[in-house]
Amino acid sequence: MAMASNKTLCFKCNKEKITFPCRGCSQEFCFTDLAEHQQILNDELNDIINDYDQFRQRINEQKQNPQNHSLIEQINQWEISSIEKIQQKAQDCRKSLIKYSQRSIKDIEMKFKDLSEQMKEIHSENEFNEIDLNYLTNQLRKITEELNKPSSIFIKEGSQSFIYEISVISSKKSKFNKWKQNAITVAGGNGQGLNQLNSPEGIFIDKNKNIFIADYSNHRIVEWKYNGKEGQIIAGGNEKGNRMDQLNWPTDVIVDEQNHLIIIADRDNRRVIQWLNENQQILIENINCRGLSMDKYGYIYVSDYKKNEVRRWKMGEYNNEGTVVAGGNGKGNQLNQLNDPRFIFVDEDQSIYVSDNNNHRVMRWRKDAREGMIVAGGNGQGENLNQLSYPAGVIVDDFGQTYVADFANDRIMRWCEGKEEGEVVVGESGVANKSNQLYCPCGLSFDEEGNLYVVDGANCRIEKFEIIL
């Protein structure tokens, strides 16, 4: 700072004195105030030096402990989430591979059986030559190669960087199955007698393609053997009543094939009852039951159409109240509510699919979820492709696609996850009893070959729509 030649006003004390300019703020200060001003500047400099020292310390700390970076936690969360997704995807692919592999083995078994029959026939007739022997050898070689390395199953890897998504693709079975539009009547559709049904509702197909039917208005359960001409009463059939040997408007039936048990939703008797030959046992009492299902672990699921909920019981532990697994929050159309739940389906992961009748939608509740999500309908009652009208039976295929008996629209619809609307798979428009028409369809089921069975309620028959391979 330079000496001033003339007296001027000091910026601080506002008196005329010999002043000295400050280059920083361009103000004039007397000697005393200039010293004070410089002290203030020194203090500010010390504060800045302090800040610099603290910043240097933070740099050293981060150099010595790089794991303490503020974004490390975000990266850690990303890592955990990514690993969980990869593990889940791998588990899903394992399940898919096992399913496709078992299906492929069944196909090979059928081919081998046919080949064995041909070989037995050739051998018994004792009329064969080199051409026959070459044919048998070549066919055996082909199915051996198919067993060792099935060409219909392969792994497809995605092209995304870092995390490569994989999925199992089967070229043998299309994701979007189709069925012949003209059905075969496999039960009912006749006059009076054991080959007659009266407003059937629920259905169960066992591994031998035997059909178990909740014959609602006849108050009985009827079994139709595969390709049978008439049914056999296996429960009820003693008029409507509440005795142990009677049923009162049964709505659904499931079969525990391992233990040879018939389990029935005996609606107006407000009970779930078990039949084993001529012996009956009440499993669950005081329940407004409508739909039934059983998962692979032996848990029983029952829909209660008055309490608007689905409950689950472990096999053999029916003396408790069960566990609410869907609904249970009063009647309504919120995602945690149901309104007159009917049919139910439980998949491999114990997710529950419910036909939410009066809400005109199908809901899926994942295991332990507090609310469901809409997988079909949910756009009000109607006949558009994004609507349902009093949905009934519901089933889900191996690809997670939902099939719904659209009761009042006389059609069966398929809904793919993420799509805003469904598609009609069977059921031509018009109420009639032709082979391509339905009248108030109720229960649904697939057999092991993928044929689609529909309870054609008002036509009092069971229709089989054969899959197109």
Residues with Cβ < 8 Å from 345, sequence gap 6 or more? 293, 352, 353, 394, 395, 396
Q: What is the pLDDT of residues 228-279, one digit of tens each?
A: 888 999 999 999 999 999 999 999 999 988 888 999 999 999 999 999 888 8
Q: What is the pLDDT of residues 197-211, one digit of tens each?
A: 999 999 999 999 999
Which residues span the domain enclosing 269?
A: 178-468
Q: Note whether 141 and 200 are same-domain residues.
A: no
Q: Note whether 279 and 154 are same-domain residues.
A: no
Of 216, 183, 267, the closest CA to residue 442 belongs to 216
102 vs 100: CA distance, rounded Å? 6
Q: In this model, does residue 338 exceed pLDDT 60?
A: yes
Q: What integer pLDDT is reported at residue 451 of this predicted model?
A: 95
Phi-psi region of 197 (alpha: psi -120 to 50; beta: other; left: phi over 0): beta
Q: What integer pLDDT is reported at residue 169 of this predicted model?
A: 46
Q: What integer pLDDT is reported at residue 163 of this predicted model?
A: 57
Task: Check residues 17 and 244 and name the one with the higher pLDDT.
Answer: 244
449 in helix, strand or coil? coil
Q: In this model, does residue 340 exceed pLDDT 60?
A: yes
DSSP per-residue codes, 393-428: EEEE-TT--EEEEEGGGTEEEEE-TT-SS-EEEE-B
Q: Note whether 121 and 89 are same-domain residues.
A: yes
Average the pLDDT over 337-362 and give the result. 96
Among 169, 198, 224, identify where a domain stops: 169
Would residue 62 count as lying in a domain? no
Would residue 351 count as lying in a domain? yes
Which pLDDT band holds residue 70 (cuts at 50, 70, 90)?
Answer: low
Q: Note whether 158 and 244 are same-domain residues.
A: no
Residues with Cβ < 8 Å from 402, sequence gap 6 or more? 353, 362, 364, 375, 376, 394, 395, 396, 414, 415, 417
Beta-bridge mates of residue 223:
212, 232
Q: Which residue's entry shows tokens 């007739």?
A: 125
Task: Check residues 429 and 282 and name the one with the higher pLDDT.
Answer: 282
What amino acid occupies position 379? N
CB burial readout 354-388, b (16+ within 10 A) else e: bbbbbbbbbbbbbeeeeebebbbbbbeeeeeeebb
Would residue 407 count as lying in a domain? yes
16 in helix, strand or coil? strand
**Which pTM does this prediction carry?**
0.65
73 vs 364: CA distance, rounded Å? 34
- 15 token code pair: 């008196």
Q: Note whether 119 and 265 are same-domain residues.
A: no
Domain count of the fold of the chain: 2
Among 121, 145, 169, identify where a domain stops: 169
Which pLDDT band holds residue 194 (cuts at 50, 70, 90)?
Answer: low
Residues with Cβ < 8 Å from 295, sequence gap 6 or more? 301, 346, 350
Among 169, 195, 225, identify where a domain stops: 169
Q: Note whether 235 and 95 are same-domain residues.
A: no
Would residue 385 count as lying in a domain? yes
What's the N-to-C CA distance of the chain in angstroms? Answer: 99
Which pLDDT band holds residue 136 (cuts at 50, 70, 90)?
Answer: confident
Q: What integer pLDDT is reported at residue 229 of this predicted model?
A: 86
Q: Note whether 424 and 276 are same-domain residues.
A: yes
Q: In the sheet that 423-426 helps form, which strands lie side by side, from edge to edge?
A: 391-396, 402-406, 411-415, 423-426
Q: What integer pLDDT is reported at residue 166 of this predicted model?
A: 42
Q: Note whether 354 and 214 are same-domain residues.
A: yes
Question: What CATH number should be reported for the domain holding residue 256?
Answer: 2.120.10.30
Please provide the average confidence, as pLDDT, over all residues in the chain: 87
Would residue 75 count as lying in a domain? no
Q: Note whether 185 and 220 are same-domain residues.
A: yes
| Helical ranges in 187-250 per DSSP H | none
